[in-house]
Amino acid sequence: MGVSGVGKSTMGNLLSKKLNIPFFDGDDYHPERNIIKMSKGKALDDNDRKEWLQTLNKLALKHVTNKGCVIVCSALKAKYRDILSTKIQQNSKWIFLHGSFEQITERINNREGHFMNSNLLKSQFDILEEPENAIKIDISLTPNDIVKVIKKELLEKTAFGLFGLGVMGKSLSRNLANKGFKISLFNRHVAEQEENIAVNFKNEFKELSTALPFDNIASFVNSLQAPRKIMLMVNAGKIIDTVIEDLLPFLSEGDILIDGGNSNYNKTKERFDYLKSKNIHFIGAGVSGGEEGALKGPSIMPGGAKETYKYIKPYLEAIAAKDKNNLPCCTYIGTEGSGHFVKMVHNGIEYVEMQLLAEIYTILKYQGNSPDEIATILESWKETTNSYLLEITINILRKKEGTDWLVNKIMDKAGNKGTGNWTTISTAELGVPSTMIASALFARYTSFYKDERVAASKKISSEASSKLNITNDNLLKAYQFARIINHYQGFKLINQASISYNWDLNLSELSRIWTNGCIIKSDLMVELVSIFKTTDNLLTDNLIIQQLKTLKPSVKKVVSECVLNELAIPNLSESINFLNSFAAANSSANLIQAQRDYFGAHTYQRNDEDSGKFHHTKWI
């Protein structure tokens, strides 16, 4: 591509000969009416061009499955290139022949029998939208050198780089390679600890036969086609900044870094701004699904500049899981750190979903069931209430080691890597009562005090008295109730962030990309896709309201029975406590306001007037 006179046909012809693939000149494919129009000296408009560009796209599609081909076309606007590369984004490469106005005028005028109308050339420069995702070639090089550069870029360089070959990095690399992408792999060299990781990994899997392995940053970066697309799969935290600094000296303007870890969204914004000042694009992408998801199809939540997303979309959407309509579970989320924010809330929701299952397990165990028996009960819940976390819990409960179940041998101290903590901080900062996430986080923290718990249990706990007066159906309904409140609170937090940070997030799309590939995929999530098309607030949906009303008696029963028998069920009880507070027309906050006014003159508003005026009382 490039303006008239830049040498497209000459170079295209030469390149096709060197690569031994067919050559097509786009100008030969105009429909009859365009030819008539042009012969009358009239300029083509975008409508005229559309059919022509679609014809060229069909031509490319036909050849892409064979040896490929070279097509030349001025393709000056991004939207023309979008039509030309429809459905072949990942198998096509733009080569932009680039020269200055003066350079091209001089060239054309030197050609025998050729005269370029400088106004026409000028108008082409005016409409030219330079592509960022192209191999940019300086036309002052000789034709042979140009072909050499293009061949090197096309044949020796790769399309996408993976930096960091931990569990997730490795799985994503294999996923990309399985989708036909030529990739570069990097893992650092640490003597006697991490040696030849990339080479050994490449040799282990046949799908990586075309991948290029490195442990040298400069060679890794140079192996990538411009603009370079590098996904960082290293641990979240300070290490991301170190890696960015290590990469920066070798990157060029327009290159794209994607952070695929669980980074803090505030940090992602800072990194975005920092890299912007260096003309490097930065995308913060949440990736969910663990090792298996990363390999077979994760759910991906990329945030950053929308224009940048265009260049990585073909890769991310190809490797993502697919929803029930076969659409990728990956979509552009929004600007700044919004991708990492929604991944963080995903994890907050995940904490609650896990905690609820842990509470159900506690109750069923207390009722005298073995892990296998609990698994059988949970298995029967799949029909109405299935989720990935329910399924893995069933598998976990069935796992035996020797004669005992493995779960019985696992120390009851829950770890965490920070996302639940950040979600709790965000929900407090944004003033959203996502109380279940906070409660699930604190349940993990409480579990951590193992020694103190053991001591306290001897001194403070009462002996278990009786069995709980509840049925398994009560338990299932309580679980369903609490899950609805969890999803209400999680999405409420996302919606508030969207408003406060101007992210314009689409809750229905978000739930759609969480229907497969991720840890919180569930039947309920599938229901939410259509509900969020009509409301941003789950508690205004009639179907949800009806469900809560039906389920409420069970959660009340389960929670009260557990409290009476000293069973810890912080998330189940939080779900009903939250709804009791939320669905109360008159709360006790009048007394809080009076107390605030009493000791701090913080003022209060009155029920018996409409002015909204604030009052202060001299209380004594």
Q: Give the count of alpha carbons within 13 A of 524, CB side only.
A: 24
Which residue bears the tokens 């108008």? 123
Among 17, 148, 382, 417, contact with ligand 6PG (rule: CB under 6 A): 417
Q: Which of 175, 187, 288, 511 binds ligand 6PG (CB under 6 A)?
A: 288
Segment interacting with ligand 6PG, rule: CB under 6 A, options 203-211, 250-258, 414-422, 480-488: 414-422
Where do the DSSP E strands lie in 346-406?
400-401, 404-405
Sequence-ordered alpha helix ranges (H) in 22-45: 32-39
Is 258 near ligand 6PG (CB under 6 A)?
Answer: no
- Residue 289 interacts with ligand 6PG (CB under 6 A): yes or no: yes
288 versus 435: smaller Cβ distance to ligand 6PG: 288
CB-nearer residue toward ligand 6PG: 368 or 415: 415
Give the residue with the Cβ less far from ligand 6PG, 414 or 470.
414
Q: Is 253 a catalytic residue?
A: no
Tell me whether the omega of the peptide bond preceding residue 213 falls within 30 degrees of 0, making it cis: no
Q: Is 40 tagged catalytic? A: no
Please choose, out of 146-154, 385-393, 412-420, 450-458, the segment that lies near ligand 6PG by the rule CB under 6 A: 412-420
Judged by CB under 6 A, which of 132, 215, 336, 350 binds ligand 6PG? 350
Residue 541 in the binding site for ligand 6PG (CB under 6 A): no
Asked if 419 is part of the footprint of ligand 6PG (rule: CB under 6 A), the reply reads: yes
Provide the residue type at 241 as one letter.
Answer: D
Contact flag: residue 223 with ligand 6PG (CB under 6 A) = no
Q: 170-209 mask for ligand 6PG (x: CB under 6 A)?
A: ----------------------------------------
Least separation in angstroms between CB 420 and ligand 6PG: 6
Q: Which two tokens stand for residue 464?
A: 């278990």
From CA 521, how far away is CA 388, in angstroms rounded? 6
Could you give the CA distance from residue 360 to residue 60 in angstroms, rounded to a whole number?
57
Position 548 contacts ligand 6PG (CB under 6 A): no
- CA dist 89 and 77 (Å) reads 16
> Which of 92, 173, 268, 347 is the binder for ligand 6PG (CB under 6 A)?
347
E strand segments, 188-292: 212-214, 229-232, 256-259, 281-288
Nearest 10 degrees: Cα torsion 173, 179, 184, 187: 0
**What is residue 40's three-state secondary structure?**
coil
Q: Residue 413 interacts with ligand 6PG (CB under 6 A)?
A: no
Residue 593 lies near ligand 6PG (rule: CB under 6 A): no
Nearest-approach distance from CB 163 to ligand 6PG, in angstroms: 18
Which of 157, 170, 343, 492 is an active site residue?
343
Question: Of the listed pieces 140-148, 282-290, 355-363, 494-502, which binds ligand 6PG according to CB under 6 A?
Answer: 282-290
CA 400 to chain CA centroid, nearest Å = 35
Counting other chains too, the contacts that 418-423 makes at CB distance below 8 Å and 24 or more residues apart are: 418/236, 418/262, 418/264, 419/262, 419/343, 419/344, 419/347, 419/348, 420/347, 420/348, 420/351, 420/444, 422/264, 422/265, 422/344, 423/344, 423/345, 423/347, 423/348, 423/351, 423/493
Q: Annotate each residue in 512-531 with x if it binds ligand 6PG (CB under 6 A) or - if it does not, as one string.
A: ------xx------------
Helix (H) or strand (E) holding 301: strand 299-303
Nearest distance in Å: CB 293, ligand 6PG: 6
Distances (CA, A) of 365 to 324, 373, 402, 467: 36, 9, 20, 11
> Active-site residue numbers?
343, 350
Footprint of ligand 6PG on this chain (CB under 6 A)? 262, 288-290, 347, 350, 415-417, 419-420, 518-519
